[in-house]
Amino acid sequence: MLRNCLHEFSELSYWPGILRLRQSEPAPAMNVLRYNTIWISDVHLGLKCSRAEFLLDFLKHTESDHLYLVGDMIDFWCMKRTAYWSPLHSQVIQAVLDKAARGTRVIYVPGNHDEIFRDYTGTLFGGVQIVSDAVHCTADGRRFLVLHGDEFDGVVKHSRWLAVLGSHAYDRLLTLNRWFNLARRRLGFPYWSLSAYLKHKVKNAVRFITDFEAAVVREARKRHFDGVICGHIHRAQIEMRDGILYCNDGDWVESCTALVERKDGSLAVIHWADESVLLLCEESDEHCHRDRCLVSAD
Ligand SMILES: [Mn+2]
C-alpha cells in the first residue's frame, strides 16, 4: 500500500519540474542569515495546514553548511486520505534540492509520516543523504544525536512501570516498538502515534511531553552524546536535562520554528514568523526585508 502511495506520488506531474535542477544558476542576491547548521522538521507537506510559505521564506533567507531535515517533511498518510498539494509545496522541495546542488550538505532523517523513505536509508536522492539517525558535531566540539523521535512514543506510554522494571525492560520495549511499527508498515497500516492520540487528551499531553523528553535524553546518555536533537512533538525547545542538552526543532504546521547552530557552535531556536524581520534587520539595516514577499498557501 505504501509503495502504491509512493508510486502515485512519483507519477504526479510536479516531480519533473522539481527534479530538473538548474545547477549553474547562482543564488539570488538577497539578505541572508548564515549559520553552520540548520535543523527543520514536521513540515507535513501535503497537508493544507503546512506553513510552506513561511518555510520557503526561511529557506530563501538562510544559508548553512549543513541542513538537517529531521522527519515528517511530507505527510504521505494524510495525502492518502485528502491529497492537497500547492505549487508552494513543490517550491519547498525545490529550494531544498537547490541548496544541496549549491553545496549545502543536506541530511534527511525520515519520520513516521514519511517513513517510506526509511526503506532508502544509506542512499543519495537528488544530492540529499537519507539516514535513519545522524551524529552532528558542533563547532565547539559537542556531539549530538539527531533523530526524529517517533520510536519513543511506545516507550513513553509505558514509562511509569518501566521505571520500576529497570533498564533491560526499557531497552526491550524500545526494540519491540520498532518491530511493531515495522510490521504495521509492512501490512500497510499507518504508524500508531501516541502523541497524535494525546492531542485529544490535553490533560495527559503535558505529562507525555515530559516523558518523551526524558526518554530521548535517556537514549542520548546511553549512547554517550552531549545532547540530542529531535522533532516529532511539534514543540521547539533547548533545555539542559540531567547533563544532556535536549533540543527540539519544533514544526512548520503551527509554530514555524527551526533550530540553528551559530558560527561559535551555540544553538538557538528561531521562531521565523515572529523574528524574521528583526533577524534580517540586524543582519543588514539597509536592505531590511525589501525583497521579501510572503504568498498565501491558498
Ligand atoms: Mn512524527
Say how many Å lie between the CA of residue 246 and the centre of ligand 1: 17
- Check pLDDT > 80 for residue 190: no
Buried b (16+ CB within 10 A) or exposed e, 235-259: bbebeebeebbbbbbbbbbebbbbb
Say how many Å lie between the CA of residue 70 and the centre of ligand 1: 9
d(CA 95, CA 76): 20
User: Which of residues 77 and 256 earns the better pLDDT score?
Assistant: 256
User: Which of residues 54 and 4 earns the better pLDDT score?
Assistant: 54
Q: Judge whether 245 and 142 are in contact, CB under 8 Å.
A: yes
Which residues lie near ion ligand 1 (Cβ < 5 Å)? Answer: 72, 111-112, 150, 232
Determine the pLDDT at residue 164.
Answer: 53
238 beta partners? 247
Say how many Å lie between the CA of residue 68 and the centre of ligand 1: 15
Q: Which fold has domain 32-283?
A: Purple Acid Phosphatase; chain A, domain 2 (3.60.21)
- Check pLDDT > 80 for residue 91: yes
First-residue to last-residue Cα distance in the chain: 30
* C-alpha 277, offset from chain centre: 23
Say how many Å lie between the CA of residue 13 and the centre of ligand 1: 27
Say how many Å lie between the CA of residue 168 and the centre of ligand 1: 26
Domain ranges across the chain: 32-283
39 beta partners? 68, 259
* 154's grid cell: 511506545
d(CA 35, CA 261): 6
- Check pLDDT > 50 for residue 24: no
Say how many Å lie between the CA of residue 27 and the centre of ligand 1: 32
Say how many Å lie between the CA of residue 297 and the centre of ligand 1: 22
The full DSSP string for 16-49 is HHHH---TTSPPP----EEEEEEEE----BTSTT
Say how many Å lie between the CA of residue 80 and the centre of ligand 1: 17
Q: Judge whether 81 and 283 are in contact, CB under 8 Å.
A: no
d(CA 159, CA 189): 25
- Check pLDDT > 50 for residue 19: no
Q: Judge whether 63 and 34 are in contact, CB under 8 Å.
A: yes
Instruction: Please give the backbone phi and psi of residue 274, each rounded to the nearest 5 degrees, phi first.
Output: -95, -35
Q: Judge whether 240 and 275 are in contact, CB under 8 Å.
A: no
- Check pLDDT > 80 for residue 117: yes
Say how many Å lie between the CA of residue 148 and the centre of ligand 1: 7
Q: Among the listed ranges 13-22, 89-98, 132-141, 195-204, which one has the minimum average pLDDT value? A: 13-22
Q: Judge whether 144 and 135 are in contact, CB under 8 Å.
A: yes
- Check pLDDT > 60 for residue 266: yes
DSSP SS3 for 77? helix
